[in-house]
């Protein structure tokens, strides 16, 4: 017997996945994860028996429900369904899927549409941090179509500005989780940062790379992947994330001088596949590291762009513009602003079928 649950397939930024009301899923998280594995078709490198897209960026789930907290409209729990393992991880949030949360919440009656623009205040349940989305709305409807292009998405759509509140240290406890601007692992200097996403920033040149390599080239370099994973396991522990062997954080961003007029060039392991672009909060975190004097990225970044309100983080398919301000304080550094623009698209809505037994039925 099969059983179904309601879901919307949406593109959020450069990611794609299912958006689901939390009441549609079992409340027990282990049972919920079994349902989601079956829905996406994991574990299987092709996810052939599910709706997942056979890549970490297209094997994502947003679970959304009304918030009980004052001033917060909805709670958004991000779940990464691992493609080739029977694992569902809540160890990170996702700023790309976040772009779809506001539109979805309005369409599902969790937030009333205003004329022109609707503000949706979202608690990112994975980290507890808050994001505010400004969703274009007209005549009580979400406006998806528009003329805003973001790198990595060939079609334009309506812009959705996102403003992050208090994301610094939301996973690791501090913007600089190790307490240092640089640390050294296996002889390589790194900067560990968390401005919404735990990231270890490394210089591409320290691995004999230019920083312009394609994701396929980097993924094909087994020796490089082993060195990076060895550093990740040590840095993750020192970033207060414990044993990160089975976690999707920290991400590992190789950085280099910009080549296309941007602020900084990047290639990001998320953490084992290489991102075709860069994650939203990943970009915010990398930009934040580059603003900190003495970090491994500071001297590579084009510091004439700092303070301009637009820092373009170059990546394999273009660049990601963020508006980030990090300033020195009496006892360290503080993130004062983290904002950016994304787009989202509703692609399909309906019933997703899984074995009824996973819901505890026959
Ligand atoms: O950093 C991929 C993505 C992400 C995460 C990843 C993200 C973010 O591009 O906020 O969006 O780093 O796993 O969707």
- Taking only the tens place, the pLDDT of each residue in 128-159 is 999 999 999 999 999 999 999 999 999 999 99
CA distance 158 to 163: 16
Mutate to test the pocket of ligand 1, among 57, 150, 160, 282 (most ligand atoms within 8 A of CB): 282
- Is residue 243 left, alpha or beta, with left meaning phi > 0 and alpha meaning psi from -120 to 50? beta
Pair of tokens at residue 283: 């970009």
Is pLDDT of 362 > 60? no
- Residue 280 Cα to ligand 1 midpoint, Å, equals 6
- In this prediction, residues 248-261 reach a mean pLDDT of 97
pLDDT above 60 (res 198): yes
Name the closest-CA residue to atom 1, ligand 1.
Answer: 279
Is residue 34 predicted with pLDDT exceeding 70? yes
d(CA 24, CA 74): 16
pLDDT at res. 178: 98
| Cα–ligand 1 centroid distance for 186 (angstroms) | 27
pLDDT, tens digit, for every residue of 85-117?
999 999 999 999 999 999 999 999 999 999 999
Evaluate if residue 278 carries a pLDDT over 80. Answer: yes
For the Cβ of 279 lying below 6 angstroms from any atom of ligand 1, the answer is: yes
Strand 2-12 relative to strand 15-21, pairing: antiparallel
Q: Estimate to the nearest angstrom the gap between the alpha carbon of 164 and the chain centroid.
A: 13
Q: Rounded to the nearest whole angstrom, what is the distance from the C-alpha of residue 21 to the centroid of ligand 1?
A: 21
Q: Are 209 and 241 in contact (CB under 8 A)?
A: no
Q: What is the pLDDT of residue 71?
A: 97
pLDDT band at 331 (very low <50, low <70, confident <90, very high): confident
Confidence of residue 307 (pLDDT cuts 50, 70, 90): confident
What pTM did the predictor assign?
0.93
Section 22-40 average pLDDT = 97
Centroid of ligand 1 to alpha carbon of 212 (angstroms): 20
- Which tokens is 250 given? 């920290």
For ligand 1, whether the C-beta of 95 sits within 6 Å is yes
Q: Is the CB of 65 under 6 A from ligand 1?
A: no
Atom of ligand 1 nearest to the CA of 96: 11
User: For position 334, what pLDDT does the model report?
Assistant: 94
pLDDT at residue 157 in the model? 97
Nearest Cα to Cα of residue 241 among 174, 186, 190: 174
Q: Report the SS3 class of residue 301.
A: coil
* pLDDT digits 0-9 by tens, 67-85: 999 999 999 999 999 999 9
Q: Which band of pLDDT confidence, cut at 50, 70 and 90, is reported for residue 235? A: very high
The yes-or-no verdict on residue 361 having pLDDT over 70 is no
CA distances from 134 to 15, 69, 122, 142, 163 (A): 19, 20, 11, 11, 9
Q: Is 153 in the pocket of ligand 1 (CB under 6 A)?
A: no
**Which residue spans within 59-165 are E strands per DSSP?**
60-66, 74-81, 88-89, 116-124, 129-138, 141-142, 160-165
> 14 in ligand 1 pocket by Cβ < 6 Å?
yes
- Ligand 1 lined by 170 (C-beta under 6 Å): no
Angle (nearest 5°) at CA 86 between 84 and 88: 100
* Residue 88 CB less than 6 A away from ligand 1: no
Average pLDDT, the chain: 97
Q: Where are the alpha helices (DSSP H) in the chain?
A: 29-40, 95-107, 215-219, 222-238, 280-290
State the distance from the centre of ligand 1 to the C-alpha of 97, rounded, in angstroms. Answer: 8
Q: Distance between terminal CA atoms of the chain?
A: 7
- What confidence score (pLDDT) does residue 6 get? 98
Atom of ligand 1 nearest to the CA of 57: 14
Mean pLDDT of 307-319: 94
Distance (Å, rounded) from C-alpha 215 to C-alpha 256? 15
92 alpha carbon to ligand 1 midpoint, in Å?
Answer: 9
The pLDDT assigned to 250 comes to: 98
Question: Which ipTM value was assigned to this complex?
Answer: 0.93
What is the Cα–Cα distance from 84 to 329, expressed in whole angstroms?
44
Q: What is the pLDDT of residue 360?
A: 80
**Dihedrals phi, psi of 21, to nearest 5 degrees:** -70, 135
What gap in Å lies between CA 25 and CA 184, rounded to an integer?
44
**Pocket residue to mutate for ligand 1, from 126, 270, 271, most atoms within 8 A of Cβ:** 270
For the Cβ of 160 lying below 6 angstroms from any atom of ligand 1, the answer is: no
Q: Under DSSP, is residue 222 helix (H, G, I), strand (E, B) or coil?
A: helix
> By C-alpha distance, which of 23, 18, 22 is closest to 38?
18
């Amino acid at each position: 017997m099969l059983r179904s649950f309601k879901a919307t397939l949406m593109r959020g930024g450069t990611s794609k996945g299912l958006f689901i009301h939390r009441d549609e899923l079992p409340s027990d998280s282990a049972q919920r994860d079994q349902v989601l594995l079956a829905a996406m078709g994991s574990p299987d490198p092709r996810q052939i028996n599910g709706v997942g897209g056979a890549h970490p960026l297209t094997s994502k789930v947003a679970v959304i429900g009304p918030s009980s907290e004052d001033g917060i409209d909805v709670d958004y729990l991000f779940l990464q369904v691992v493609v080739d393992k029977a694992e569902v991880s809540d160890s990170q949030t996702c700023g790309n899927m976040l772009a779809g949360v506001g539109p979805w919440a309005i369409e599902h009656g969790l937030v009333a549409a205003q004329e022109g623009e609707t503000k949706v205040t979202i608690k990112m349940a994975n980290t507890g941090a808050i994001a505010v989305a400004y969703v274009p709305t007209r005549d009580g409807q979400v406006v998806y179509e528009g003329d805003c292009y973001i790198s990595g998405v060939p079609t334009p759509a309506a812009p959705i500005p996102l403003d992050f509140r208090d994301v610094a240290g939301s996973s690791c406890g501090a913007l600089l989780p190790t307490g240092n601007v640089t640390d050294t692992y296996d002889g390589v200097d790194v900067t560990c940062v968390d401005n919404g996403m735990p990231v270890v920033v490394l210089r591409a040149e320290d691995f004999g790379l230019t920083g312009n390599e394609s994701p396929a080239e980097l993924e094909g370099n087994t020796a490089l992947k082993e060195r990076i994973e060895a550093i990740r396991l040590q840095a993750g522990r020192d970033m207060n994330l414990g044993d990160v062997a089975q976690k999707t954080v920290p991400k590992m961003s190789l950085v280099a001088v910009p080549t296309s007029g941007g602020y900084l060039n990047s290639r990001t392991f998320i953490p084992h596949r290489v991102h075709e672009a860069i994650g939203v909060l990943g970009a915010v975190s990398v930009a934040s590291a580059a603003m900190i004097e003495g970090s491994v990225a500071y001297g590579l970044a084009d510091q004439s762009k700092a303070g301009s309100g637009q820092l373009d983080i170059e990546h394999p398919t273009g660049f990601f513009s963020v508006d980030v301000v990090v300033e020195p304080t009496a006892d360290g550094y503080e993130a004062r602003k983290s904002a950016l623009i994304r787009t989202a698209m509703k692609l399909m809505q309906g019933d997703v079928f899984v074995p009824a037994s996973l819901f505890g039925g026959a």
